[in-house]
């Protein structure tokens, strides 16, 4: 893995930008930058490795998503920039991913009630021309309110957040489940840290402000 801290001159014509994700939330976030991009859903096993730290899991999966997409690129996009991202919620030694069902979401939110949780959001930008991968990890600390079972059920009925780590959409009604949150990038909690992404894009010569 190679990391570069030297910014390159901005290109007048953007290279293809590809988001390696099946997440509608990440697509919506990336749209905010006003850059043309396409989406390819990577097919990888997202199971954490035994004994793997949650932050390491998020980093590895973001990297694997980007690389999986690179392997699928057609010849006319072999010079693309590929984005991979992943998020893991962790409380103590417990790791929380996407619940996938109502019952599991209820179980997650009952466990997170009144607790402080750290959402580790990893970002990987792979430059297919140089072969370099540029990575960042953004941590967001979230304090959940003490939640009654009927609040959790009512929330999930209105907003079935079964595809969100931690079972809560902070950008929507899920904010009502929280007492406090803190972090360097408010978009990281939604799933794609745009401040970090802009920094990495500038590093490879793509400044969203100058496109």
Q: Which residues are catalytic?
A: 86
HEC string of the chain equals: CCCCCCCCCCCCCCCCEEEECCCHHHHHHHHCCCCCCEEECCCCCCCCCCCCCHHHHHHHHHHHHHHHHHCCCCHHHCCCEEEEEEEEEEECCEEECCCCCHHHHHHHHHHHCCCEEEEEEEEEEEECCCCEEEEEEEEEEEEECCCCHHHHHHHHHHCCCCCCHHHCCCCCHHHHHEEEEEECCCCCCCCCCHHHHHHHHHHCCCCHHHC
């Amino acid at each position: 893995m190679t990391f570069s801290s030297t910014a390159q001159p901005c290109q007048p014509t953007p290279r293809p930008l590809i988001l390696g994700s099946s997440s509608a939330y990440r697509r919506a976030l990336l749209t905010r930058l006003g850059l043309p991009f396409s989406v390819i859903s990577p097919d990888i096993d997202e199971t954490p490795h035994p004994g793997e730290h949650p932050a390491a899991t998020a980093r590895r999966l973001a990297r694997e998503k980007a690389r999986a997409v690179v392997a699928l690129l057609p010849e006319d996009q072999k010079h693309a920039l590929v984005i991979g991202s992943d998020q893991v919620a962790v409380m103590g030694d417990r790791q929380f991913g996407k619940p996938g069902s109502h019952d599991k979401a209820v179980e997650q939110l009952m466990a997170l009630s009144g607790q402080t949780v750290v959402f580790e959001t990893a970002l990987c930008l792979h430059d297919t021309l140089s072969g370099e991968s540029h990575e960042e990890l953004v941590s967001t600390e979230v304090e959940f309110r003490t939640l009654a079972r009927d609040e959790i059920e009512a929330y999930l009925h209105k907003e079935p957040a079964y595809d969100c780590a931690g079972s809560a959409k902070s950008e929507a009604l899920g904010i009502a489940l929280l007492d406090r949150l803190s972090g360097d990038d408010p978009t990281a909690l939604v799933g794609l840290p745009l401040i970090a992404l802009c920094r990495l894009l500038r590093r490879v010569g793509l400044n969203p402000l100058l496109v």
